[in-house]
């Protein structure tokens, strides 16, 4: 895809620091399962591992920026915002895995009302309030109990029950995976790079609400969210050659 701005295109911004295998796994998933036009902006915050060679592996619909110093997650996101021009923005953490139709579903719910400022997915974490089990318990009891841990099967089940549906939420969205309109970010402003504890998702969600926006949770979008200690032997066995053919 060119760097022009078709109506449904999104800029996917992924700040990274090392964690090469996580990053490869996410990029492979984006190539394989994204159903709308996109361009990836991978912001390498001075990595010291194999991440420095990603430009040799991935060349399609991607811009890789290598910073000499670590600007942090918020700084990387702001940098990516400035590089792109597509009408949708997606902020991503490299420790997630996506499934078929993930981006189209998020954008579809974002567009159900002009005052929805940001939309996030359900995820696999048992401790995150966006974790599917917690959402089922506290907000949407209609979510079926899963008999499988498979990412893609769970995604298919949710699509069957909640196709292009979601709920408005009072909690703050976690920015490990979130979609916004570029014009919304232009109105609210960039992320606060002085927020040193991590992504300033809580602060930015408050700013969205103060500007009159509401927050949404897509019920037909499910991602796996890995913790820092989560191993992924399946990824370790994949070759870089296979990644380029995704």
- pLDDT tens column, 202-234: 999 999 999 999 999 999 999 999 985 433 434
pLDDT confidence of 195, banded at 50, 70, 90? low
200 part of a folded domain: yes
Specify if 2 maps to a domain: no
* Count of domains for the chain: 1
The residue among 149, 148, 144 whose CA lies nearest residue 220 is: 144
Express as a percent the part of the chain with pLDDT over 70. Answer: 88
What gap in Å lies between CA 144 and CA 219, rounded to an integer? 11
CATH number at residue 95: 3.90.550.10
Q: Are 117 and 180 in contact (CB under 8 A)?
A: yes
> Does residue 1 fall inside a structural domain?
no
User: pLDDT tens, 49-99?
Assistant: 999 999 999 999 999 999 999 999 999 999 999 999 999 999 999 999 999
Q: Is residue 4 part of a domain?
A: no
Q: Two tokens at 19?
A: 């964690």
Q: Does residue 3 lie in a domain region?
A: no
Nearest one of 58, 61, 156 to 99, comparing CA atoms: 156
Q: What share of the chain is helix, strand, coil (3-state, %, to 5)?
A: 35, 25, 40
Distance CA 177, CA 184 (A): 17
User: What pLDDT sits at residue 207?
Assistant: 96
Which range marks the domain in which residue 55 is found?
Answer: 10-244
Per-residue pLDDT, 239:
36
């Amino acid at each position: 895809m060119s760097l022009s701005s078709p109506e449904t295109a999104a800029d996917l911004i992924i700040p990274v620091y090392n964690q090469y295998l996580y990053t490869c796994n996410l990029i492979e998933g984006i190539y394989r399962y994204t159903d709308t036009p996109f361009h990836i902006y991978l912001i390498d915050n001075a990595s010291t591992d194999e991440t420095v060679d990603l430009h040799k592996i991935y060349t399609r619909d991607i811009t890789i920026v290598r910073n000499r110093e670590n600007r942090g997650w918020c700084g990387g996101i702001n940098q990516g915002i400035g590089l792109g021009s597509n009408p949708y923005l997606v902020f991503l953490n490299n420790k997630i895995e996506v499934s078929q139709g993930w981006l189209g579903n998020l954008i579809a719910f974002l567009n159900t009302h002009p005052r929805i400022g940001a939309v996030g997915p359900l995820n696999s974490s048992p401790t995150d309030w966006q974790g599917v089990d917690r959402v089922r318990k506290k907000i949407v009891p209609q979510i079926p109990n899963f008999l499988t841990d498979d990412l893609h099967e769970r995604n298919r089940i949710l699509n069957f029950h909640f196709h292009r549906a979601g709920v408005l939420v009072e909690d703050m969205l976690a920015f490990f995976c979130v979609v916004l309109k570029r014009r919304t970010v232009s109105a609210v402003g960039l992320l606060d790079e002085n927020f040193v504890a991590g992504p300033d998702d809580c602060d930015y969600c408050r700013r969205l609400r103060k500007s009159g926006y509401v927050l949404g949770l897509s019920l037909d979008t499910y991602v796996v969210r890995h913790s820092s200690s989560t191993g992924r032997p399946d990824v370790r066995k994949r070759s870089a050659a296979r990644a380029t053919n995704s």
